[in-house]
């Protein structure tokens, strides 16, 4: 195969975990779609904060609290710039799953009459419809199932084809004048399909529906401008973007966040509390009840700084080359069924596949014995796998620190799976 030409291979040395061995083999890490590794600058940023400035934010008058608050809010500013948002449109959550649930719970609260006149526009009830796709991650499906159950709205879904892909025509066939919300992934975590976001936003606007974008597989891997895309809400995770676990981001257009009632309540998100009731701060604080993940936010700020320095256009180009190498290599191995877009169609830097006659978990164990880390299972997308008549699949995913040698080592090993199991 032709060599990878993008200039990011020298970044690998910044990631200490990638230098280890597994089962006597150099580690080949191809599971970044699940969790990305962290560069030294991210590890050091969190440690430095904890050693020198650790304090509660927004609630202390002493020097440490002021320094912690400043660094905490600088991280928010960095993330806002990174995704093309305003700083007050970025609310910290415990993860992308939490962010999506926050939207659903806030809409549910509005449907119960909470939030006053400003929130009435969000109220849902019988006759209203929520739309998702059959390809969604459970985190962008179950919250809407629950919201429908709580409000009496109907949940409708866009079916996928035999390759696990959905189309705009299929979406148009599901959306009606009763559609109040369309929730969809920017990039599928199983197929690598890249959604036509602008067209979905335009369709939603034509019927007055809100749009919720699962950006977990796009924010880490390609330039992202949420204002330019025009979505109403979005969610993404720090741990898929070289950052820490336990932190995610809820994005919402300012006027929407300030009109929504809070999903959780407590300290730090209020202006006035009496024994009879409470008044809430504007966004983003109204969605940040309680003690915040301060050191994690600081580390995430360092992570998006690292990605910014690498250049997201370069990251995207690098992953496109590696993804093409993955796809072409796997396509040439007999007995492998590849899931998702075919040759010549845009896909993200991941490929999922089924090995004929070999369970995905067995295939994953075979690869792990050779030092290659991939994902196996249904990838939190059971409806999609069921549609494809699969219980599980193997997924290899790349990131900016992967190399052509990683992909080639994986392909060499994958070629031997069926022979090893005597299929």
pTM: 0.95
User: Does pLDDT of 2 surpass 70?
Assistant: no
Where are the chain's structural domains? Answer: 9-30+311-417, 45-308
Taking alpha carbons only, the member of 227, 249, 257 closest to residue 303 is 249
Q: What is the pLDDT of residue 7?
A: 60
| Range in 16-30, 57-71, 217-231 with the lowest mean pLDDT | 57-71
From residue 279, how far is each of 63, 200, 351 by CA, in Å?
29, 35, 48
Catalytic positions, written as ranges: 380
Q: What's 45-308's CATH class?
A: alpha beta
| Range in 29-43, 54-68, 225-239 with the lowest mean pLDDT | 54-68
Taking alpha carbons only, the member of 294, 300, 197 closest to residue 244 is 300
Using pLDDT thresholds of 50, 70 and 90, give the confidence band for residue 423: confident
| Range in 235-244, 337-346, 363-372, 396-405 with the lowest mean pLDDT | 337-346
Domains 9-30+311-417 and 45-308 share a fold: no
pLDDT tens by residue, 122-171: 999 999 999 999 999 999 999 999 999 999 999 999 999 999 999 999 99
Whether the CB-CB separation of 155 and 130 falls below 8 Å is answered with yes
Q: What's 9-30+311-417's CATH class?
A: alpha beta
User: Does pLDDT of 8 surpass 80?
Assistant: no
Assign residue 246 a region: left if phi > 0, alpha if psi is -120 to 50, beta otherwise? left
Edge-first strand order for the sheet with 248-252 is: 90-93, 248-252, 233-237, 210-214, 179-185, 129-133, 154-158
Q: What is the pLDDT of residue 59?
A: 77
């Amino acid at each position: 195969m032709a060599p990878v030409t993008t200039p990011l291979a020298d970044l690998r040395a910044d990631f200490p975990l990638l230098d280890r061995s597994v089962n006597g083999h150099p580690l080949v890490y191809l599971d970044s779609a699940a969790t990305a590794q962290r560069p030294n600058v991210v590890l050091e940023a969190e440690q430095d904060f904890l050693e020198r400035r650790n304090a509660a934010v927004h609630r202390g008058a002493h020097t440490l609290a002021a320094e912690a608050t400043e660094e905490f809010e600088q991280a928010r500013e960095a993330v806002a710039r990174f995704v093309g948002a305003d700083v007050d449109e970025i609310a910290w959550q415990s993860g992308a799953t939490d962010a999506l649930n926050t939207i659903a719970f806030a809409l549910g609260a509005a449907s119960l009459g909470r939030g006053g006149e400003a929130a009435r526009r969000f109220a849902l009830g019988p006759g209203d419809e929520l739309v998702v796709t059959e390809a969604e991650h459970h985190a962008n499906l179950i919250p809407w199932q629950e919201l429908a159950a709580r409000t009496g709205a109907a949940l409708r879904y866009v079916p996928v084809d035999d390759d696990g892909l959905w189309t705009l025509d299929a979406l148009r066939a599901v959306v009606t004048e009763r559609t109040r919300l369309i929730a969809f992934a920017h990039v599928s975590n199983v197929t690598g399909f890249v959604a036509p976001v602008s067209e979905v936003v335009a369709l939603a606007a034509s019927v007055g529906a809100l749009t919720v974008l699962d950006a977990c597989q796009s924010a880490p891997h390609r330039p992202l401008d949420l204002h330019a895309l025009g979505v109403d809400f979005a969610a993404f995770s720090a741990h898929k973007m070289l950052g820490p676990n336990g932190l995610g981001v809820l994005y919402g257009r300012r006027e929407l966040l300030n009109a929504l009632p809070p999903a959780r309540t407590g300290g730090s998100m209020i202006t006035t509390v009496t024994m009879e009731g409470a008044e809430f701060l504007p966004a983003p604080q109204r969605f940040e009840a309680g003690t915040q993940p301060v050191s994690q936010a600081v580390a995430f700020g360092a992570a998006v700084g690292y990605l910014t320095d690498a250049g997201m256009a370069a990251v995207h180009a690098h992953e496109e080359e590696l993804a093409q190498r993955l796809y072409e290599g796997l396509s040439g191995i007999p007995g492998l069924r590849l899931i998702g877009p075919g040759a010549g169609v845009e896909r993200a830097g991941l490929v999922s596949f089924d090995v004929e006659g070999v369970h995905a978990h067995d295939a994953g164990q075979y690869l792990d014995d050779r030092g290659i880390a991939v994902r196996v299972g249904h990838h939190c997308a059971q409806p999609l796998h069921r549609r494809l008549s699969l219980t599980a699949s193997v997924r290899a995913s790349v990131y900016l620190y992967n190399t052509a040698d990683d992909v080639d080592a994986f392909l060499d090993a994958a070629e031997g799976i069926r022979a090893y199991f005597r299929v």
